[in-house]
Chain A
Amino acid sequence: MEFLTFKVEIEEKIPKKIKVEITPIVYALLKNGEIIKLTTCIVEDFDHSHALDFDLKFSDSVLISYSDLVSSSYSRVKILKYSLPRNVLKIAEILEIKNLISDSLYYVVNIYKVKEEKMFVKEKTVKTKSIDETINIVNNLCASI
């Protein structure tokens, strides 16, 4: 089973000035309650066949979509494909988002439930401003099972 996410650098000048870097960190919550950080992934170049996946990931949480990529003056997007352990219960995807125009940093935590038919269902999305808060959310995953 594979979990797909993106590492993104985007700079857009028209219509809106945007300069954002998105770095994902992926954790897996296993059925025995253990949380592991996934470190190994296959890296691929982005192409438009992944446009919908890109929009699903970022349109509501970061307010950027494929059309922003098309309009960007610079973009570098990599597809990261993580192999998941068999006994995975949930996925915690942390997106570290650096806004290089406002010089601000925030995090989006997406929690996915892994369904039997190898599907991921997003359970919740939380925005945080600090890494401590973000780690707490991930740790609380253990308590939720």
Chain B
Amino acid sequence: MAAAKEISINYRELLNADIEAFEKLGKEVRHQLLPKLHEDYELALEIEPKVRKGEREIVRTLSLCPSCLRLLKAVIFEREKKVWIRKECPVHGEIEEIYWGDYDLYMRFKEWQFDGKGVKNTNVPLLTLCPYNCGLCPRHKSHTALLNLVATNRCDLSCWYCFFFAARAGYVYEPTLNHIRYMLREARKLAPVPPKALQITGGEPLLRDDIIELVKIAKEEGFTHVQVNTTGIRLAYDGELAKKLRQAGTNVLFMSFDGVTPHTNPKNHWEIPYALDNLRQAHLGVVLVPTIIRNVNDHELWDIIRFGVMNMDIVRGVNFQPVSLTGRVSKAERSRLRITIPDTLALIEKQSNGIISRYDWYPVPSVAPVSHFIEALTGKYQLTLTTHFACGAATYVFKDENGEVIPITRFVNVEEFLKYLEEKAEELERGKNKYLVMLDFFIKLRKFVDSKNAPKSLKKGKEIVKMLYQIFVRHDYSSLGKFHYKTLFIGMMHFQDLYNHDVARVQRCDIHYVSPDGRLIPFCSFNVIPVLYRDRVQKLYGIPIKVWEEIKGVSLARQKYKRNITTLVKGEPYRRHYREFIDVDNISIEEHIKISLKFGIPAE
């Protein structure tokens, strides 16, 4: 931590600074902020972790000690049909953790790994080993698919498990609009593929009075997709804000949604119905984001999907996030709470009675052939999702006219189609005539679609074949928008923690944070090693709470949200959204209040 202590910034003096001032400052401090050997971390690469009787080695990798952040060698191995990671710190001993809950699925997913082309212009030189050199460094294999911008660390909630928000951090981190413009410009310099998708996150970004201006700046700086990550609480009360967000160019919201009952979703259960209605009025779509914790809300996975399907007029997707266990967590506690991607997929299969099976899912990089094909056809670099295969999974489901849910894999041979695209991309790269390739594509396209199993709405006029033709032959993506409105995207992203940390995953990460000094930092470095990245840089660019309150003339404590449960529960939107899932009249107001208070949100 010594390196960070040597630098200090008086952010109060920068409140009216121009973009150039932030650029100059960023260049000055970013190298000094990089973690330093012997000051911030040590290496312990001599120890090769053992594989024991009854275990089968899969691959070796690098990882960190959860206690001292030493770089260690680790082994990923199979035992009892599950995948585990083991490492040994010379000081803190052996650490073993579940890595993936299903060996067979791991082996199936690994076949879909595609790596990126790397990044051509990095913000930091190579000075040390991965993951202490993030910025991005020349080792990084993926360009940015989604850029995260922390707009503020203020939050109107104080969830018991969160250590990030201002009141607990002891400072307010809230970059000015000029500062944000600098950060976005720095991020957009990335070559060969500048990021086009931005997530504005927090804290609670909607607490910023200038959030609309911020969205407009993002659009001006070239981000064609802007999403805002929110609890939705402000939107439950402020329909105008939803409209203004949409008008400013917000494409979609990422909204926390941990379950369909007050017990599983004490964060925003009561506000969600009102927020959804306001988003309907604003025509602003939303992706529901459930954090999944074993023994807490893992019994509601199918209900969460059903909730999404029932509100498909406004819900564009459900993006599950198996919990990342941050901070010190005992082995027993980890076993109780830990859930991995395959565990989640198996539970969805079980809870849906096989409507969505684990084989309907594909790893994130499986779609890389689509980008490769278009890139080979057009000669232009394309955004390509090349994360590690173990990081995420996705599928699409269609809602048929009779309400039946049908995964896309039941009527499109996704596997064969993607393999075919990769093959054609390779042919084009080898110089084959593109008109001959396209002719072959046009002839074979129908082969991948099984119309008799398709949802009725798509059977009409072979709509799905037409859509694929529009996208791949005519490069007309408007049909893709139509596709989205008939489908629900279901995704899954398991962010790492210090227990299951794998450097091979970090190097392939394509969700990056733009740091206030202009660096781009992979999600699982920014949040998994906050002491070296997130907290270090945000504290440096932060303002002490007292000073911030003096400048703004408001009290941070007074911004805390207090919910009026009685009014929320009695409203028609609450009943309409939840009647399929809970007996609304069977939970007393006192019980509702108790649940909210237990979570840390005052209620009456």
Q: List, in ascending order, chain B residues with CB within 8 A of A51's CB.
A: 45, 129
Q: Does A60 contact B (CB under 8 A)?
A: yes
Q: Compute how far the CA of A51 lies from the CA of B114 in the bound complex, rounded to whole angstroms.
A: 24
Pairwise interchain contact B388-A52, C-beta atoms closer than 8 A? no
CB-contact partner of A14 in B110, B127, B138, B139, under 8 A: B110
Q: Mark B81-122, 1 if CB is under 8 A from A, else 0.
A: 000000000000000000000000000001001110110101
The B36-83 residues at the A interface (CB cut-off 8 A) are: 43, 45-46, 58-62, 73, 76
CB-contact partner of A15 in B73, B118, B388, under 8 A: B388
Q: Does B172 contact A (CB under 8 A)?
A: no
Q: Does B389 contact A (CB under 8 A)?
A: yes
Q: Does A70 contact B (CB under 8 A)?
A: yes
Q: List, in ascending order, chain B residues with CB within 8 A of A56's CB.
A: 126
Question: How many B residues have CB within 8 A of the partner chain?
Answer: 34
The B138-160 residues at the A interface (CB cut-off 8 A) are: 138-139, 141
Q: List, in ascending order, chain A residues with CB within 8 A of B58's CB.
A: 14
Q: Compute how far the CA of A141 lies from the CA of B217 in the bound complex, rounded to whole angstroms.
A: 47
Q: Compute how far the CA of A59 lies from the CA of B126 in the bound complex, rounded to whole angstroms.
A: 9
Pairwise interchain contact B138-A71, C-beta atoms closer than 8 A? no
* Nearest chain B CB to A18 CB, angstrom units: 8
CB within 8 Å for A70 and B73 given contacts A15-B504, A52-B126, A65-B130: yes
Q: Compute how far the CA of A65 lies from the CA of B129 in the bound complex, rounded to whole angstroms.
A: 10
Q: In terms of DSSP, what is the predominant structure of the interface of chain B?
A: loop
Q: Mark A46-89, 1 if CB is under 8 A from B, else 0.
A: 00100110011001100101110011010000000000000000
Pairwise interchain contact B115-A71, C-beta atoms closer than 8 A? no
Q: How many A-B residue pairs have CB under 8 A?
A: 68
CB within 8 Å for A13 and B62 given contacts A52-B126, A65-B507, A67-B504: no
Q: Does B200 contact A (CB under 8 A)?
A: no
* Nearest chain A CB to B367 CB, angstrom units: 16
* Nearest chain A CB to B185 CB, angstrom units: 23
* Nearest chain B CB to A10 CB, angstrom units: 13
* Nearest chain A CB to B31 CB, angstrom units: 16
Closest residue on chain A to residue B117 by CB atoms: A63
Q: Does B559 contact A (CB under 8 A)?
A: no
Pairwise interchain contact B59-A55, C-beta atoms closer than 8 A? no
* Nearest chain B CB to A53 CB, angstrom units: 10
Q: List, in ascending order, chain A residues with CB within 8 A of B120's CB.
A: 60
27 contacts between A and B (CB under 8 A): A13-B59, A14-B76, A14-B110, A15-B388, A15-B389, A15-B508, A16-B114, A17-B113, A48-B45, A48-B46, A51-B45, A52-B129, A55-B130, A56-B126, A60-B118, A63-B115, A63-B141, A65-B130, A65-B139, A65-B507, A66-B129, A67-B61, A67-B62, A70-B62, A71-B59, A71-B60, A71-B504
- Using a CB–CB cutoff of 8 Å, the interface residues on chain B facing chain A are 43, 45-46, 58-62, 73, 76, 110, 113-115, 117-118, 120, 122, 126-130, 137-139, 141, 388-390, 503-504, 507-508
Interface contacts beyond A14-B110, A15-B110, A71-B59: sample of 17 additional A-B pairs, CB < 8 Å, sorted by A: A13-B59, A14-B58, A14-B59, A16-B113, A48-B45, A48-B46, A51-B45, A51-B129, A52-B128, A59-B126, A59-B137, A59-B139, A63-B117, A65-B507, A67-B139, A70-B62, A71-B61
